[in-house]
Structure 1
């Protein structure tokens, strides 16, 4: 199997370099030959071929066992027709599969994920076929796990606490959200059917209508279902299939299914069901979360806001359960305040918190230490390490001050009509040096970006603020005996932020590899931080 995989990998890489399908592969599959008549990947006809016809008695493996139907589909794309990204592709696949096999259960897995547990299908079917509650279930969601995570997860890509605690908690309140991959769907629910109280499926007598036409005739009739114009004046993308118009089409689709009366289930077996590839550079992660933050906020500010759209349709606890994710982007404002304002006020001598000696400092101290202790306890309980938790705190700060900041303003621009919906695919292909640094758990910067400008500037700002406070304590202690008492919490906050940003300082000044901060980012961050400090003081 390993040898066959390596041969396939070489064929794919060779085809990508040549930018055309090799002749010997074209001869094997007529569908590939159609690509010779395509001028652009974004302007081509529907290309569809039934590679293995499961109805054919000759479709067997080397042991004589029947093979399932395998279909190759590239839906039609034209520049004048919006293809609606992943949601449009999924809807085309749903329609074509309904004509060819019409299976009652659909599994959706992203292209960079694979099955890691052969029992996943059986486990999911047990939930769908449960005699008491199974007919209420629209989809069964598996967590999004990755096979390339390091011990301490420098990018906190697994969202450990969300996957192992928060989504599990939603199970008792109507079910988890649909996260776009590793999900088994009931076809009827995905295609817009509302749940009815007396809805019952007789799995023993379930009629799976299968087409009787020949494979060649079936291919021609199914091409219409994947054409650009098929959805015009239909409910596809509105009430049927995945929803259009949102950067996180999976979340809004799951919400609309639940609002039609269905429930969902979260399944996290001991052996992971599906594995994928996590981002291994900071830029990949920030770009990914920019899209997620933007899509979630877009839902919250639309008529599909869980609080309004779900009113009297889903439990209040489930509506509130969506809100922390929907408000990721808005959370950037509070985080930016705590990262910027206390530091600048410290330079100017403006106190924001009670004195250390004052009893009014106790509520602040309790909130800070109790929340961090609870957060650490959650993370360790979910199987993480202390260093992994610290990395998690750093990445949350990076995301809130960059990804969610950009997502907030991009959403506002779209609401005002100054920007259009886009879909940024997270790149997963990197060179060998980047992979080695990832294995050593070094954060990868290595590119000039406005996001890195912000991260570096905020790091320098708190470094300058900390230096100024330490200088005042050491050299002017007699004249400012109550300085530490007055500004203790602000100094502590700055020092914590400096500690969190230690990898940033290393990338700015010490690292020599290609993953360091670009020189332009270093200069800009120092200039911007000095300018902000000067304005604050004078």
Structure 2
């Protein structure tokens, strides 16, 4: 249903349907997904005219029907009840078929379903290309007789002996299939969980591409990523608002983030920008109207075979770049270094809305993949200071580095959450006394950085509580996600292991969603990342209690009048780390729900923390 709602939201754009084609990449090659799209194609005949008649926003049925639609646009209760009934019937059919796990006998005999081989798997299968709605067909109309957008299902061929290149490979397959079927000059790529929230997004993007003075220079228009399920308290400290409203507007160019981006086809396919481009640009769209959909499908299948890209420029000079888990960032950088400009556009009405992870493990794994891929770019020939030298501005190179160097930030953070606390426990001062003039630089850095961070959050509409959660999650990300990303990248550079693509789960059970809505962190499993978090939390708790007790004992004995002044910053730092670890202590000792940390992990973390506290420091 997540996929269906995204597909229907972009099919219903306020744009001429004969110029709109939607391609769905199913890398899991599921006949259940194909069945869901068949249902979506049928429902679109009712949904699209309903949206345009009543000026519906947003045009994802699930989002619209759950958001009090009577308050949006023109309202007709009878039409609303009818569309609700149709959607609910479709949802029941899709979910019922999904629970069965197979297509029933009648459906299985229909055209399209016969292409599934019972022996095939998601990693070993032939290609499937099926045009579910052919916009050229006079019968492909909605209930009011208006032509429907073209809808195409694509599952590329996969064989174990050939690399599939993950999301980048799937995107390149769609680029080639679309060039054969519709060959539109502009391409929007959207993740399956990012439905369109504004029906004007296409028109808005084309305003930049078709600008008479500078439109010919623009390769892509990037909309910001936004999430519809973020809590006001922002329990996982997602600082997407800071990125969207502060960092990206100051970037100088738009960083391609992999979704919600409109591309010029020619630039995405490797063409370099030249000043003469405006004069000789002509869009070629040749398609024989008499050619059947079956012929097109067969020809398109050859473009998504596992051997098609052999000895070609795909993944190097053409399409999405290969060899990196964050193919979006490296592709955008490559395009900019070919002379193209890019636009970051953040309209008042959010153009796309997705789903943020609702479990801590999902969140940390996602950031691990990002930090690993970004750091890999920095260490490669595509490092912006080398690859971009003389091609993009120094300001843009530095802006890229802000993200590419996430992984190395784990080392200073790991030092700060471990060493000062252990030194506090041993009574070893690391910072100047409060009475010393050398204390002022430390006080300035702490006050300035935190004040600026708080100001950013409040300016972006965040609360004081969400700002604190951001500080807490910054520590958690850097000591786990970024650390693992750094280690994996270094090992790969040394020839040990290879990069992979880990998909972040977005579907969660009802109980976990209730805990998330209540503001509880979701652990629920054992993980090396959770072991690190629990160990650091327990280590700081022991060090804080033992260190403060030691300071009080010395001062109480009258032998250490300057001890408080000497250890003040370490006590403050360790105390803040303990305060920030409260959700971890709750997960270790107090919570009894399924989202708590396992007992075995708590024992393991306690052992490691005790071992660390026993290490003699000199």
Structure 1 position 188 matched with structure 2 position 280: no
CA distance in 2, matches of 1:260, 1:196: 9
Partner of 1:505: 585
Q: Indicate which of 274, 285, 309 corresponds to 1:231.
A: 309
- Is 474-483 or 440-449 further displaced after alignment? 474-483
Partner of 2:171: 90
CA displacement at 1:206 relative to structure 2: 4.0
CA distance in 2, matches of 1:125, 1:201: 19
Structure-2-length-normalised TM-score: 0.84
1:118-517 equivalences in 2 (<5 Å): 118-157=199-238, 159-170=240-251, 173=252, 175-200=253-278, 206-212=283-289, 213-477=291-555, 478-517=558-597
Corresponding pairs, count: 533
CA displacement at 1:27 relative to structure 2: 4.3
* Change beyond 3 A, Cα 1:325–1:107: same
* Change beyond 3 A, Cα 1:211–1:355: farther
Three-state SS of the structure 2 residue aligned to 1:264 is strand
* Change beyond 3 A, Cα 1:37–1:475: closer
- Is 300-309 or 346-355 further displaced after alignment? 346-355
* Change beyond 3 A, Cα 1:2–1:393: farther
Three-state SS of the structure 2 residue aligned to 1:87 is helix
Q: Indicate which of 92, 111, 117 corresponds to 1:10.
A: 92
Residue 100 of structure 1 contacts residue 211 of structure 1 at CA under 8 Å; is this kept in 2?
no
Three-state SS of the structure 2 residue aligned to 1:255 is helix
Three-state SS of the structure 2 residue aligned to 1:146 is coil
Residue 294 of structure 1 contacts residue 407 of structure 1 at CA under 8 Å; is this kept in 2?
yes
Residue 347 of structure 1 contacts residue 536 of structure 1 at CA under 8 Å; is this kept in 2?
no
Partner of 2:13: none
How far does the alpha carbon of each residue in 1:224-266 deviate from its partner, in whole angstroms, 9 at most, with x for none? 0011111000000110000011010111000000000001111
- Is 473-482 or 338-347 further displaced after alignment? 473-482
CA distance in 2, matches of 1:75, 1:38: 16
CA distance in 1, matches of 2:97, 2:419: 54
CA distance in 2, matches of 1:132, 1:70: 34
CA distance in 2, matches of 1:227, 1:400: 40
CA displacement at 1:216 relative to structure 2: 1.1
Residue 235 of structure 2 contacts residue 466 of structure 2 at CA under 8 Å; is this kept in 1?
yes
CA distance in 1, matches of 2:382, 2:586: 44
- Is 35-44 or 371-380 further displaced after alignment? 35-44
CA distance in 1, matches of 2:542, 2:240: 32
- Is 37-46 or 187-196 further displaced after alignment? 37-46
The gaps in structure 1 that reach 5 residues or longer are none
Partner of 2:198: 117
Structure 1 position 522 matched with structure 2 position 602: yes
Structure 1 position 99 matched with structure 2 position 176: no
CA displacement at 1:202 relative to structure 2: 8.7
Partner of 1:44: 125
CA distance in 2, matches of 1:245, 1:10: 41
CA distance in 1, matches of 2:193, 2:267: 26
* Change beyond 3 A, Cα 1:24–1:156: farther
Three-state SS of the structure 1 residue aligned to 2:262 is strand
Residue 362 of structure 2 contacts residue 505 of structure 2 at CA under 8 Å; is this kept in 1?
yes
Three-state SS of the structure 1 residue aligned to 2:489 is helix
* Change beyond 3 A, Cα 1:524–1:108: same
CA displacement at 1:511 relative to structure 2: 1.5
Three-state SS of the structure 2 residue aligned to 1:331 is helix
Residue 31 of structure 1 contacts residue 48 of structure 1 at CA under 8 Å; is this kept in 2?
no
CA distance in 1, matches of 2:91, 2:221: 31
Three-state SS of the structure 1 residue aligned to 2:154 is strand
Alignment root-mean-square deviation, CA: 1.6
CA displacement at 1:99 relative to structure 2: 0.7
CA displacement at 1:446 relative to structure 2: 1.5
CA distance in 2, matches of 1:515, 1:345: 34
Structure-1-length-normalised TM-score: 0.96
CA distance in 1, matches of 2:425, 2:84: 61
Residue 426 of structure 2 contacts residue 547 of structure 2 at CA under 8 Å; is this kept in 1?
no
Q: Indicate which of 101, 104, 108 corresponds to 1:26.
A: 108
CA displacement at 1:37 relative to structure 2: 4.5
Partner of 2:615: 535
The gaps in structure 2 that reach 5 residues or longer are 1-82
Residue 516 of structure 2 contacts residue 522 of structure 2 at CA under 8 Å; is this kept in 1?
yes
CA displacement at 1:412 relative to structure 2: 0.9
How far does the alpha carbon of each residue in 1:73-131 deviate from its partner, in whole angstroms, 9 at most, with x for none? 11111111111111111101100100110000100000111101001111000011111
